Amino acid sequence: MPSVLGPYEGPSLIGTAQRVNSASVEFWDAGVIVVEPDAPAGKDVVFSCAVHGDETAPIEMVRDMLHDILAGQLTVKQRTLFLIANPAAIVNGTRFVDMNMNRLFSGAHANGNSPEHARAAKIEQYVGRFFKQQQRFHYDLHTAIRDSAHEKFAVYPFTHGAPYKKQQLTFLAECGVDTILLNQAPTTTFSYFSVREHQADAFTVELGKVRPFGQNDMSRFAKADTMFRKLIATETLQLPEFDASRHHIYDVCRTINRTAQNFELNFPDDVANFTEFDTGFVLARDGETPYRVERSGERIIFPNAQVAIGQRALLTVIPLPVEQLELV
């Protein structure tokens, strides 16, 4: 079976193409594979993984989809781009080599010269080259550093005032992703780049917890795997009617950045995402500055005291009734 990582694993396939089930499979770069059906059904779909190289379950999902496509067992009817974002970090067995790649999109890669900066710049070019059709979708697949009170959740990037889409919320719920975090400001994440620069429906999708290769219980990802395959293998995806009761919605309350060398979180490493703390509890200390819980219902997400100075060390979120969203 051909490698999906190009020169990082086995012989290089860069610049080659194969014919499988009335489609062309093109290898644009290491970990950049495009499936181009002879008669595309109208959607452009991007599945990305390994923006963080140690988040292995999404890598295995993408690998298995690609292997089934190349073996002729999965027939693709939608134009699909598979992006294994950071092959060097996969080989290294680390979250990244030098820099967190998910802080380097929307042009932020111009401010450095690490391998991640260079790769993010290329990835932006590949995505721009790929998107052609009016219906554009991007699911950036991750697993989280720690456990979560909601095992699977997705970040809905800032929409700049555009309404949220019932169809996408329903699709994610069918994937087993019933929790949505609304981002209320521009960011330098990969999913926001696709929203802002290419008007795609794009999401950062957290599917579980980080585990080493071979230690993922892939049955826990079965719903997502099934729906991703249906999305690209059917001309018109059939979804149930939108049901607000299926969804847990959270709004970002605060972003806490690390600005001091002696930054620390005031709770154990095994505290799960979406854990709620009492009002007044000190969540973190950034040098001499304490950060306390300010609102009832405020919860933590993505805590990481080891980020580089200047980067986000913690988000807090609050529940938001679905009825308060502008939906179409």
Tokens, residue 154: 């997705």
Distance CA 257, CA 235 (A): 44
Q: Which of 183, 150, 308, 172 is nearest to 239 (CA)?
A: 172
Our measurement of the distance from residue 18's CA atom to the centroid of its chain's CA atoms, rounded to an integer in Å, reads 28
302 Rama class: left (phi>0) / alpha (psi -120 to 50) / beta: left
Q: Coil, helix or strand for 219?
A: helix
Q: Is 206 one of the annotated active-site residues of the chain?
A: yes
Which of 174, 206, 288, 294 is catalytic? The answer is 206
Distance CA 117, CA 59 (A): 21
Strands 79-84 and 43-49: parallel
φ, ψ for residue 125 (rounded to 5)? -65, -40
Which residues have a Cβ under 8 Å from the Cβ of 54 and sit 6 or more positions away?
89, 90, 93, 94, 95, 210, 212
**What is the set of active-site residues?**
206
